């Protein structure tokens, strides 16, 4: 039996955020484990509880949120990822990734992971 893939889904603030719900559903159909990391701005468009119910996993939002365990969150998320998919990816998040700016949980995970990173731009 093949190993279950762990996908980190990074969600940034774009009108296309609703498509992330479909991405989660499709990844779950392929028997992937999906963990969502949202930017602070994305939470203004969709509440984390929706992604939690779709993925069946905790949704990570803030870099300085109280951890459930004594693991360093961005490192533990980066280590468990088989792939990091940022969808939707705004121009802001793409610029941060390209420049190596790590000022939120999502960009810290991206900088720390050795897994492939896929970016799905969503902007005008």
Cα–Cα dist 29/38, whole Å: 22
Q: Are 116 and 84 in contact (CB under 8 A)?
A: yes
Task: Kindly state the percentage of the chain with pLDDT values over 70.
Answer: 91
Domains of the chain: 6-121 (3.40.50.1950)
What is the pTM (predicted TM-score) of this model?
0.91
Helix (H) or strand (E) holding 24: helix 18-29
Q: DSSP 3-state assignment of 46?
A: coil
Q: Are 10 and 93 in contact (CB under 8 A)?
A: yes
Q: Identify which of 33, 81, 74 has the alpha carbon closest to the alpha carbon of residue 57.
A: 33
Cα–Cα dist 114/117, whole Å: 9
Q: Is the pLDDT of residue 26 over 70?
A: yes
What is the number of residues in the chain? 124
Bridge-based pairing state of the strands 6-11 and 33-38: parallel
List the Cα angle 41/42/47 in 5-degree steps: 120
Which residue is associated with the tokens 């004594």?
70
- The whole-number pLDDT of residue 65 equals 65
Backbone phi and psi for residue 10, each to the nearest 5 degrees, phi listed first: -85, 130
When mean pLDDT is compared across 12-16, 21-25, 30-34, 65-69, the lowest value belongs to: 65-69
pLDDT digits (tens, 9 = 90+) for 51-84: 999 999 999 998 766 556 556 677 889 989 999 9
């Amino acid at each position: 039996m093949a190993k279950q893939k762990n996908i980190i889904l990074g969600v940034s603030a774009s009108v296309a955020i609703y498509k992330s719900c479909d991405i989660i559903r499709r990844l779950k159909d392929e028997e992937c484990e999906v963990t969502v990391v949202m930017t602070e701005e994305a939470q203004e468009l969709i509440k984390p509880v929706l992604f939690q119910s779709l993925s069946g996993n905790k949704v990570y939002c803030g870099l300085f949120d109280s951890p459930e365990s004594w693991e360093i969150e961005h490192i533990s998320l980066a280590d468990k990822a088989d792939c990091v998919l940022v969808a939707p990816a705004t121009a802001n998040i793409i610029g941060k990734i390209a420049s190596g700016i790590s000022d939120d949980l999502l960009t810290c995970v991206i900088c720390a992971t050795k897994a492939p990173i896929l970016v799905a731009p969503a902007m005008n």
